[in-house]
Amino acid sequence: MERTFVMIKPDAVARGLAGRIISRFEDAGLTIERMDMVSLTREQAGRNYAEHEGKPFYDGLIDYVTSGPVVKMVISGEGAVTICRKLIGATDPAEAAPGTIRGDLGLVLDANLAHGSDSAESAERETGIFFG
């Protein structure tokens, strides 16, 4: 069993899409091990997106993910990291395939509904940031 971290971002929560998004992970046979709705601190957001610090979009990203509640989750299952990333879809909703969360529900790049860990190592680090 593999574990990964997924966060439903403020735009999805504000649009009332959290339940539909969670269902997609469950429909894929994955298990939601932990889940909580919270407002992120700037420190948590900064630690999560540290690899982007100094890039032109960094400040806007931090402002965005701390702008409202998010749903943070630990999801498990065989190949959970890869499956979650495929379910979420390409970063830019305009380029995301139909059938993916971003392809079906996303509107713009800057508010792209969800974050999913890109590796088992990232999942472990991100889970530590958000769940201790």
DSSP 73-94: EEEEETTHHHHHHHHH--SSTT
* Displacement of CA 23 from its chain's centroid (Å): 14
Distance separating alpha carbons of residues 94 and 98, to the nearest angstrom: 10
Residue 15 phi/psi, 5° resolution? -85, 0
* CB neighbour burial string for 31-46, b if at least 16 within 10 angstroms, e if fewer: eebeeeeeebeeebbb
Q: Which of 72, 85, 102, 115 is catalytic?
A: 115
Query: Does residue 115 carry a catalytic annotation?
Result: yes
> Which residues are catalytically annotated?
115
